[in-house]
Amino acid sequence: MHKYKALIVDDEHSGRAVLSRLLQLYTPELELIGTAGTIESARDLISTEHPDIVFLDIRMNQESGFDLLEDEMHRSFALIFVTGHDEYAIPAIRAEAVDYLLKPVDVLELKQAVERAKKKLHTVPASVRETGESVFTEGSLTVHLHSQVLIVHPEDVVYAEANRRYCKVVLADGRCFTVPKSLSELQELWPARRKFCRISRGILLNVKYVESYSKTWPCLIHVAGGMTFQVSRRKKAEVLAVLGE
């Protein structure tokens, strides 16, 4: 059985314990890779463990579960809200959560939410189906487009954007395509020495195309072609250091 990595984010120990037990009893396809009582610890676990599904509380002491999503606009995990408050359903929909569970959690609703999350994780973007397979060749990305083979050189890439388990790659000439590769794989292919910088969890940017940027918050980067990106708070110092080289 394929195991999906799950993370629970809840400031209450009892909430984490109860949901952990429910997952253990009723969702054997999930592997609980950790629990977090704060937004900061949740960010760290997401960064290191790369969960497939995140169960997220909303009201957490002085924090909000929505704070976690600030750096996760291009998240690769499926999101399920688990909360004792029913007034956040509309913001949850806007956050593209696959489900919104009210405490105490109903077992049937939990299992249905997990099935929706699994379905979302396995949904392949149409652009991936059209693009086909891709391979790495000495720093270049070789993409098989039906009967053609496209060799993408790193200097021609403006940015790559995470789309769950896939990435959209945008070229300087305006072409774009989606490849079945993670952003981490592309980052290894195009390391910092090639002037690629991870400006947020979901964007890998070629600084060659940066025209201007702001040092204050929000930290915005303006790129050739009229595009603008916002640097995440956690990446700001690192990005400014690369841009200042």
- Whole-number pLDDT of residue 1: 65
- Whole-number pLDDT of residue 103: 92
- Whole-number pLDDT of residue 192: 59
Query: Is the pTM value of this prediction over 0.75?
Result: no
Domain coordinates in residue numbering, the chain: 4-121, 132-243
- Whole-number pLDDT of residue 127: 45
- Whole-number pLDDT of residue 193: 55
Q: What is the mean pLDDT of each run of 10 residues along the chain (245 residues)?
A: 89 95 96 94 87 92 82 72 84 82 94 91 53 52 70 87 81 83 82 77 90 88 88 88 78
SS3 per-residue string spanning the chain: CCCEEEEEECCCHHHHHHHHHHHHHHCCCEEEEEEECCHHHHHHHHHHHCCCEEEECCEECCEEHHHHHHHCCCCCCEEEEEECCCCCHHHHHHCCCCEEEECCCCHHHHHHHHHHHHHHHCCCCHHHHHHCCEEEECCEEEEEECCEEEEECHHHEEEEEEECCEEEEEECCCCEEEECCCHHHHHHHCCHHHCEEECCCCEEEEHHHEEEECCCCCCEEEECCCEEEECCHHHHHHHHHHHCC
The CATH number given to 132-243 is: 2.40.50.1020
- CATH architecture of the region 4-121: 3-Layer(aba) Sandwich (3.40)
- Whole-number pLDDT of residue 73: 52
